[in-house]
Amino acid sequence: MVRVATHCTEADISRQHIEFARNLGMDTVGFLMMSHMITPQELAEQAKKMESYGANCIYVVDSSGAMLMQDIRDRFRALKAILNSDTQTGMHAHNNLSVSIANSLTAIEEGCDRVDTSLAGMGAGAGNTPTEVFIGCLEKQGWQHGCQLDTLINGADDVVRPLQHRPVRVDRETLSLGLAGVYSSFLLHAERASQKYGISTMDILMELGKRKMVGGQEDMIVDVALDLKNANTKQAQ
């Protein structure tokens, strides 16, 4: 299986990779990152492009953990209305607003075929949908999942959490990612810039959101930190 990821407005640049993967007979997934940044209808149009190139599954990707349940519902309904019936859909959530589980369950209610999870939520920002919690919710729903829940819970606490250099949690900084709609992987870069230039991580992230920065623009984090520092210096004078 291969995933071909693009920003949500740039499906057209995925064509050669998707076509190549399908020609190899691979399970080929189109991955529309930062899906909150365009309307459900616009996202569906981008999904249709990926499908036309040969993708057999299209993902709604909440890279910044900025969407709520109705946002997810609207996007899956838009995708289902335009994609072929045999094209699968997937959900990739981040927990910056503490709704990754709710968003993943909502996606399933709307016919989503695949859901990304990770033990202890291991992932950028406040992490991804935690596998052990997600499976626990499926169990409470009475849905068949084929997993050993106690093994997942033990694996999350005993194996994965000790590996996390920064606790995967919703705090001031990770909540800022969701509020600002900023790419979750920006967090560590913003924290480094904060330490170097003496500007709060939260202020950097919120300014990145105002400027609508997207994945691949990590170099702009330093520019934003310097702009904020210069503005603070002028105010002090």
Structure tokens at 4: 């071909």
Q: What are phi and psi of 222, to 5 degrees?
A: -65, -40
State whether the Cα torsion 122-201-222-207 is positive or negative.
positive
- Total residues belonging to the chain: 237
- Contact in structure between 52 and 17 (CB atoms under 8 Å): no
Would you say 92 is a known binding-site residue?
A: yes
- With beta carbons less than 8 A apart as the criterion, state whether 117 and 160 touch: no
Contacts of 78 (CB under 8 A, 6+ apart): 40, 41, 43, 44
Helix (H, G, I), strand (E, B) or coil at 214: coil
Consult the annotation and say whether 189 binds a ligand. no
183 is in an annotated binding site: yes
Sign of CA dihedral 166, 167, 173, 174: positive
Distance of CA 23 to CAs 15, 31, 50, 99, Å?
12, 18, 15, 37
Q: Is 63 annotated as a binding residue?
A: yes
Which residues are known binding-site members for substrate? Answer: 63, 92, 183
Binding residue ranges for Mn(2+) = 92, 94
Binding residues: 63, 92, 94, 183
